[in-house]
Chains A and B, each alone.
Chain A
Amino acid sequence: MNSSFGIKHILQFVLFVALQILLMDNLVLYSTGFCFIYVAFLLFLPIEINRVLLLFLGFITGFTVDVFYDTMGIHAAASVLLAFLRPHVLNLLTPRDGYDTNDSVNIHIMGWRWFLAYTLTLLVVHHAAVFFLETINLETMWYNLAKVLLSTLFTGIVVVILQLLFFSPKRASRRL
């Protein structure tokens, strides 16, 4: 699996953003747990993807969601932040003998511990950025923190479910 950006990823982009806008928009737990599943598109991109390309992809994804949510710039800012941090988090989590050529973000290949550490770290950063940008002040900080934690859990669980359902254990992220 090289760093090619193919039709598969365009399909994933459309699927995840559509899922976000059409379904997850209406699914909020106790008005604190939000599910920003569109982030999964950025998480599941190939490991060796070009950093600059990744940043632009992050911006485009966040911007598309912003247009539908009427929150101009908030999701875009959070997604760009996530796209910037992703290579660094991947670096930190490098296995002992480096990444294999056919390694990809796949729970079966990389194992539970690696996958959860990778997903949850990036989700916490992204969700914190979204909720704190929404309410620039710190008045509702505790409520925001609760939102960040619950939403991270919610999105994390959905991401794991997607992995278990659609990502085959044998080959690198062959999807659908």
Chain B
Amino acid sequence: MRNLFAFIYRFRAFLVFVLLEVLCVYLIVRYNTYQGAAFFNSANRYVGQVLEFQSGITDYFRLASVNGTLAQENAALREELLQYRLEELADSADVLDSTIYVAPSDTAGSNPYNLIAGRVINNSVRRTNNYLTLAIGTADGVKPGMGVISSNGVVGRVKTVSPHYSTVTSLLHSQLLISAKISKSNTFGTIKWTGGDYRTALLDYIPLHVKPEKGDTIVTSGFNTVFPEGVMVGRISSVEKEADKSFYTIEVELSVDFAQLSYVYVVENPLKEERDTLELNAGIISDEQ
């Protein structure tokens, strides 16, 4: 017994080293999946306060570009509004209403998504797995798993929330997949970021019989409850056909400049639970988020 203690004492440094490394590996495996919730992360209250202090200083340097984006968004919304008004004035299509029957309870019409605006207080674009921290939390109605978009397009998904902060898995995360489609042909595939340049991502699973072209718009498919249909993702920047693959290799130039994010919107879908339960009960397991 004494020998055992002597042995342990002699190799104490090595044993402590092994123990700590095992603990680290446990932490890595346990908390580095993108859905995993962790207590120690940047949504933590004290960490959030430090990050908010930091962004309180750096935000001043970005005011000009933030104002520019907001003005652009206003202009786009105003344009859309005008278009609707004009269409309403010239609307003679009342008679056509009978050609398509839309059920009065169709959720697309009656239940819009709610958007919760949030300020980005921490952001990264150059790591292999990137995250954002927002200055909104459960007190504002944010829940884990909600989608996050900006005025330019898709940003990511909420990972964890605390009362006043939330962390978001950015689209620039090696494990985040987003269901998207080519808006021209309605073919759907999966958006995936593979690291490196933060302006481009890959669009996977587009079968060879469709003809994607450079410049085609990629939008979200709306096949899951996270993102509404038709949110911009980016434009195709190159299409390649590889000999040994049954899918195209498509590069997409993302519409969101992740290095410039200041304000984003968290998407709340009031009917998410109902639809998810139904699909789960029916045995449909969605493989992408």
For residue B57, which residue of chain A has the nearest CB? A22
In the complex, the answer to whether A80 meets B21 with C-beta atoms within 8 Å is yes
In the complex, the answer to whether A31 meets B126 with C-beta atoms within 8 Å is yes
In the complex, the answer to whether B42 meets A67 with C-beta atoms within 8 Å is yes
Whether B285 sits at the interface, judged by CB under 8 Å, is no
In the complex, the answer to whether A135 meets B38 with C-beta atoms within 8 Å is no
In the complex, the answer to whether A68 meets B47 with C-beta atoms within 8 Å is yes
Q: Distance in Å from the Cβ of B123 to the closest Cβ of chain A?
A: 10
Produce 1/0 per residue, A13-56, CB < 8 A to B: 00000000110010010010010000000000000000110011
Query: Which residue of B14, B28, B47 is within 8 Å of A77 (Cβ)?
Result: B28
For residue A134, which residue of chain B has the nearest CB? B128
The answer for the CA separation of A134 and B30 in the assembled complex, in Å, is 14
The answer for the CA separation of A81 and B17 in the assembled complex, in Å, is 8
Please name all residues of chain A whose beta carbon is closer than 8 Å to the beta carbon of B133 when the two chains form the complex.
70
The answer for the CA separation of A169 and B127 in the assembled complex, in Å, is 38
With A68-B50, A72-B32 as contacts: A59 and B38 at CB distance below 8 Å: no
Q: Distance in Å from the Cβ of A48 to the closest Cβ of chain B?
A: 14
Number of interface residues of A (CB under 8 A): 35
The answer for the CA separation of A157 and B47 in the assembled complex, in Å, is 29
Produce 1/0 per residue, A69-94, CB < 8 A to B: 11111101100110110010000000
Please name all residues of chain B whose beta carbon is closer than 8 Å to the beta carbon of A76 when the two chains form the complex.
20, 23-24, 27
Query: Which residue of A25, A31, A133, A143 is within 8 Å of B28 (Cβ)?
Result: A133
Please name all residues of chain A whose beta carbon is closer than 8 Å to the beta carbon of B174 when the two chains form the complex.
135
Q: Distance in Å from the Cβ of A155 to the closest Cβ of chain B?
A: 15
In the complex, the answer to whether A72 meets B128 with C-beta atoms within 8 Å is no
In the complex, the answer to whether B47 meets A135 with C-beta atoms within 8 Å is no
With A67-B40, A80-B24, A135-B128 as contacts: A73 and B54 at CB distance below 8 Å: no
The answer for the CA separation of A73 and B32 in the assembled complex, in Å, is 8
The answer for the CA separation of A7 and B28 in the assembled complex, in Å, is 32
Within 8 A of A (CB), among B6-55: 12-14, 16-17, 20-21, 23-28, 30-32, 38, 40-42, 44, 47, 50-51, 54
In the complex, the answer to whether A68 meets B42 with C-beta atoms within 8 Å is yes
The answer for the CA separation of A31 and B20 in the assembled complex, in Å, is 30
Please name all residues of chain B whose beta carbon is closer than 8 Å to the beta carbon of A22 when the two chains form the complex.
54
For residue B51, which residue of chain A has the nearest CB? A68
For residue B17, which residue of chain A has the nearest CB? A84
Whether B221 sits at the interface, judged by CB under 8 Å, is no
Q: Which B residues are closer than 8 A to A by beta carbons?
A: 12-14, 16-17, 20-21, 23-28, 30-32, 38, 40-42, 44, 47, 50-51, 54, 122, 124, 126-129, 131, 133, 167, 174, 195-198
Q: Name the 7 nearest CB pairs between A and B, nearest first.
A: A73-B27, A77-B24, A73-B28, A72-B31, A51-B13, A84-B17, A70-B131
Please, could you name 13 A-B residue pairs with CB atoms under 8 Å apart, sorted by A?
A25-B124, A34-B126, A51-B12, A59-B20, A71-B129, A72-B38, A73-B25, A73-B26, A76-B23, A76-B24, A76-B27, A77-B21, A80-B20
Other than A22-B54, A59-B23, A70-B133, give 15 A-B pairs with Cβ distance below 8 A.
Answer: A56-B20, A58-B20, A66-B27, A67-B41, A68-B122, A70-B131, A72-B28, A72-B31, A72-B41, A73-B32, A74-B32, A76-B23, A76-B24, A77-B28, A134-B128
